[in-house]
Amino acid sequence: MYGKYATLTDPIHNNTYGSISPLRPELSQVGKTILISGGTTGIGYGIARGFVKASAARVIITGRRAEVVSKAAADLQREADKTEVTGIPSDVSSAEEVDALWNKLKSTGIVVDVLVLSAVGFPPDKPLRDVGTAGIWKVFDMNVRAQLQMSERFDRQEGKGGSETKYLVYVSSVSVHDFNVGREYPGYALTKHSVQLGLQLIAQDTPPEEIQIISYNPGAIFTENAREKGWTEDSIPWDHVDLPGHFAVWAASPEAKFLHGRFVWASWDVENLQSGEIRHRIDGDPTYLKIGINGL
């Protein structure tokens, strides 16, 4: 579907598999509190399910629509054995609501160990000249300011959580490197590029032992947004939502430490990434799998 990018590893995956299974003891989230923005539907909900399966102590999901948040939290709680699930209505496009969310967590003594940034806004599928500065700036507020503000509040928490290391996982997009996708959705690509670079710059000054930061392309998942854009279940061979859901759990583990500050695909085989020629290049090239100018 995406040519050479999709075949970086052999095999590639369109569903979950053993190495990223949230049931693996090495990926256990026991004792940890997980916060997932945009965790009520689609990819975010799949990620929440992954952390529930990994036995997190608490999974907190946020979303704009109170009724959707409530239903998603209740559905997840029915699946949970050892996990407390909490739904908090919060529109991350509002700086005030982001602060209110973190202030509420602080007031109740909750310290987040894993932050997953999954909420996203979509600008009109038009050339930037047609969208205009005012229109695109609204999406910047959601896709860039909100992600950086969430990251900052996560970093500046007081108190001790369930783990020494904090984990930040960002649900990025293929548009940060595939210019064909970027051409089709320019406003979306612009904002995803921006926050990708922002997190990359934060990671370069942050030891992974303090906050491990990893971004990934979740794959082609049939979501509510995809349906709204006119796609159908038969349009393409979609990936299963458990792929990005379980990959996020792996990315929030010590096994993924070598990817700190980098961008990967959920479909890439993690054992291939951990060893062999790809690992050699990751260890030897500090710019590999990072934002930069193509050709220089």
pLDDT of residue 5: 60
Give, in degrees to the nearest 5, the angle at Cα 151 between 176 and 38: 70
pLDDT of residue 231: 73
172/192 Cα distance (integer angstroms): 7
Whole-prediction pTM value?
0.94
114/93 Cα distance (integer angstroms): 21
250/256 Cα distance (integer angstroms): 7
Helix, strand counts (H, E) of the chain: 11, 7
pLDDT tens for each residue of 25-47: 999 999 999 999 999 999 999 99
- Largest interatomic CA distance in the chain: 52
Q: Domains of the chain (ranges plus CATH)?
A: 3-284 (3.40.50.720)
Per-residue pLDDT of the chain in tens (296 residues, 90 and over written 9): 455 566 789 999 999 999 999 999 999 999 999 999 999 999 999 999 999 999 999 999 999 999 999 999 999 999 998 999 999 999 999 999 999 999 999 999 999 999 999 998 888 888 888 988 988 898 899 999 999 999 999 999 998 888 899 999 999 999 888 877 767 788 888 999 999 999 999 999 999 999 999 999 998 887 777 777 777 777 777 889 999 999 999 999 999 999 999 999 999 999 999 998 999 999 999 999 999 887 77
